[in-house]
Amino acid sequence: MAGKIYKGSQLIKKVYKGGQEVKRIYKGSTLIWMPDPYNPNTVLVNLSAASGAEQSVSLAEGVYKLELVGGGGGGGGYFVDAKGRHIQYASGASGGALVVELKLSAGTYKYWCGAAGNAGAQNVSGTAGTASYFKNADGSAQATAGGGGNGIWATDFSVIPSGGTVTVLGFNVAATLLSKQGNPGNPRVQYSSDDTPGGASVYEPYGKGGGSKSVGAAGLCRLTYLRAF
């Protein structure tokens, strides 16, 4: 890992030889210094609502913190019987959450922030949340936090949607800080007009599951520069 250079207590951010800026300093064949392309802790991607379309960002080489949360699933809606009694079907599950430090090469990367599923309504199921992801240009490396499953109208008490799952494939992972499946939805409730709570977020406040008749929360895609390597 490249280190830092100080003059006294002053951090040196640029080094020159003559009038030419030096980009790397080696001791033998070992890289001991290179400048930070951004200030440490600079946020370069920060989406907490559905992307609408896949987006891209050009990045310098470095170590980055990636935070991904999938969108929460919608609930299964409700039914009103002939006596006016309500049955609330299963609520939506929450999205999975992934927080990792990645060593990234310079290049273009693509990303997406997952949306919350549609809310359930009378005699109508909601929809599943969608995944958040971050990948390299050709898709050979990708990190994904899946969306939470949706409740389904007119199912029995045993049918409960599952939380979103997480995967990391092909990236150079420096550290894994969180890798957690989303929480499941809650089961059907007989004879209640109250909204059944959705699966709790595993990375607050993102990706919460929707209630039986309410919408959940969108996911997260955030990328922060940490340091050179």
What confidence tens digit (pLDDT) does each residue in 144-199 have?
Answer: 999 999 998 877 777 899 999 999 999 999 999 999 999 999 998 888 899 999 99
CA distances (Å), 57 to each of 2, 13, 46, 73, 128, in order?
24, 24, 11, 28, 27
Question: Cβ distance 177 to 41 under 8 Å?
Answer: no
- Give the angle 101-102-108 at the CA atoms, nearest 5°: 135
* pLDDT reported for residue 137: 96
Q: What pLDDT shows up at residue 13?
A: 66
- Nearest CA-CA partner of 114 in 178, 208, 43: 208
Q: Is the dihedral of CA 192, 163, 95, 115 positive or negative?
A: negative
- Write down the pLDDT at residue 3: 62
| Contact (Cβ atoms closer than 8 angstroms) between residue 151 and residue 212 | yes
Which residues of the chain, if any, have pLDDT below 50?
A: none
Residue 73's CB is within 10 A of a number of other CB atoms, namely 41
Picking from 10, 183, 20, the residue whose alpha carbon sits closest to that of residue 95 is 183
Exposed / middle / buried, residue 19 (Cβ in 10 Å: 0-12, 13-18, 19+): exposed
What pLDDT, on the 0 to 100 scale, is given for residue 51?
A: 66
Per-residue confidence (pLDDT) for residue 27, from 0 to 100:
84
pLDDT at 46: 97
Buried b (16+ CB within 10 A) or exposed e, 105-143: eeeebbbbbbbbbbbbeeeebbbbbbbbbbbbeeeebbb
pTM, to two decimals: 0.86
Tokens of 112: 């997406």
pLDDT of residue 56: 97
pLDDT of residue 75: 94
- The one-character DSSP state at 122 is B
